[in-house]
Amino acid sequence: MDSSSSEEFYQAVHHAEQTFRKMESYLKQQQLCDVILIVGNRKIPAHRLVLSSVSDYFAAMFTSDVCEAKQEEIKMEGIDPNALWDLVQFAYTGMTTFTQPLLQYMIITVLFIIDYFVNLLLIYRDKYHPWFQASSGGLGTYLLQIKGTTENIMEVMRNQEFLLLPAEELHKLLASDDVNVPDEETIFHALMMWVKYDMQRRCNDLSMLLAFIRLPLLPPQILADLENHALFKNDLECQKLILEAMKYHLLPERRTLMQSPRTKPRKSTVGTLYAVGGMDNNKAKNWNFLGVTVLEGPIYAVGGHDGWSYLNTVERWDPQSQQWTFVASMSIARSTVGVAALNGKLYSVGGRDGSSCLSSMEYYDPHTNKWNMCAPMCKRRGGVGVATCDGFLYAVGGHDAPASNHCSRLLDYVER
């Protein structure tokens, strides 16, 4: 370079303001828009870059490995359309107009968008709404409170407000026995996702939060990988927790001596116990001596006695819809019937029809909703026990006549 030349610094006046005005004009003309926010029946176009630049919520949504990052249209539930539109406008212009009725809807909307707009609303907190007596951090976590976080934790973890939780709020979730997760592995991976979102700052909280993960309940393969994981290998407290969990797997005979809050399963991971039918003092509303089994998810209640008559009807409980529905009835009524599921079919074995014990057997196909007869057993069996093992169905014990019959005999025969 010529020594006589000189460098001069130049800064365009109002460059940022003019740039945002240009982006606003693109918005008005719906040009270069790359995302549409759907709220109710309203579609709000926008630019990902603009939304991400003013909101960590949208930045997390568009830059993380989640399905919304690649979707052109994103549905947003529980938000007022007008309030969201005003906040999108604010992202482009830095200006908005508050009215007291609108502010109530905008508060809830801001809780979805979180960070950038909180300070704006705090200016009006004393004038408009008592919710604003909380700190900005309280506003940021109020969303999770109104959604019933522990019950809907899977939904919360799929959305981006989870990644923006402060460590104190995440600690409350991890410590709860009531978080609705299918297994402990799910909530462990959620913690890892939260840490990696801001690894530099959040590593300091890792050992404190890891103490609330039930590590002994994780699969041993995961624990083996954690020992030399970059996040844990230099953290003494984390290593102690991992070692504790590995001992729990390596020394099963000592588990009774290793009990702690970390060995206690969360309520949702231990399954649900259903009590079906039975007898109470109101004999007119009883349904007893029925057979119950699970086939491909739903529970089936088969036959039985309603206090007046023997039943051939069958009902199916769908754990998703939480409802009972009738399916095809058996060919004959069966009380004290044995039932089992095998190879995608439901088998109904023996039982009583009101006059005698039965040797017959039939099976139900859920795909055709039909019952079909099978080869009968060698013995009549009421109150028979039925189980499957290695692809075979076994009929165990029972009695060959109603218990009130003086000729009734208990059976020790087993048939396959």
The answer to whether residues 249 and 296 belong to one domain is no
On the question of pLDDT at 120 being above 70, the answer is no
Q: Report CA torsion sign: 152, 153, 156, 157.
A: negative
Q: What is the pLDDT of residues 124-134, one digit of tens each?
A: 444 444 434 34
Assigned domain for 170 exists: yes
Cβ(196)–Cβ(212) below 8 Å: no
Output the pLDDT for position 89: 87
On the question of pLDDT at 226 being above 80, the answer is yes
Cβ(86)–Cβ(102) below 8 Å: yes
**Residue linked to tokens 């549905």:** 75
Q: What average pLDDT does the chain have?
A: 81
Confidence grade of residue 411 (pLDDT, cut at 50, 70, 90): low
- Tell me the C-alpha distance between 363 and 314, whole Å: 12
On the question of pLDDT at 172 being above 90, the answer is no
The answer to whether residues 131 and 167 belong to one domain is no
On the question of pLDDT at 12 being above 90, the answer is no
Confidence grade of residue 406 (pLDDT, cut at 50, 70, 90): low
CATH number of the domain bearing residue 140: 3.30.710.10
Q: What is the pLDDT of residues 326-354, one digit of tens each?
A: 999 999 999 999 999 999 999 999 999 88
Confidence grade of residue 94 (pLDDT, cut at 50, 70, 90): confident
Assigned domain for 7 exists: no
Q: Minimal CA–CA distance to 300: which of 311, 289, 316?
A: 316
Provide mean pLDDT across the span 162-179.
Answer: 84
The answer to whether residues 120 and 202 belong to one domain is no
Cβ(74)–Cβ(35) below 8 Å: yes
Output the pLDDT for position 29: 93
244-266 burial: b if 16+ Cβ within 10 Å, else e: bbbebeeeeeeeeeeeeebeeeb
On the question of pLDDT at 231 being above 50, the answer is yes
On the question of pLDDT at 8 being above 50, the answer is yes
On the question of pLDDT at 157 being above 90, the answer is no
Q: Minimal CA–CA distance to 50: which of 18, 77, 27?
A: 27
Assigned domain for 10 exists: no
Confidence grade of residue 137 (pLDDT, cut at 50, 70, 90): very low
Assigned domain for 275 exists: no
Output the pLDDT for position 326: 94
Assigned domain for 191 exists: yes
Assigned domain for 409 exists: yes
Q: How many domains does the chain have?
A: 3
CATH number of the domain bearing residue 225: 1.25.40.420
User: First CA to last CA across the chain, in angstroms?
Assistant: 96
The answer to whether residues 304 and 390 belong to one domain is yes
Instruction: Determine the longest span between alpha carbons in the chain, in angstroms.
Output: 124
Q: Where are the beta strands (DSSP E) in 240-384?
A: 291-294, 299-302, 314-318, 323-327, 338-342, 345-349, 361-365, 370-373
Measured from the Cβ of residue 17, the count of other Cβ atoms closer than 10 Å reads: 11
Domain end among 115, 146, 177: 146
Cβ(299)–Cβ(317) below 8 Å: yes
| Range of the structural domain that residue 126 is part of | 15-146
Assigned domain for 90 exists: yes
Q: What is the pLDDT of residues 286-332, one digit of tens each?
A: 667 889 999 988 999 999 988 888 999 999 998 888 899 999 999 99
The answer to whether residues 322 and 390 belong to one domain is yes
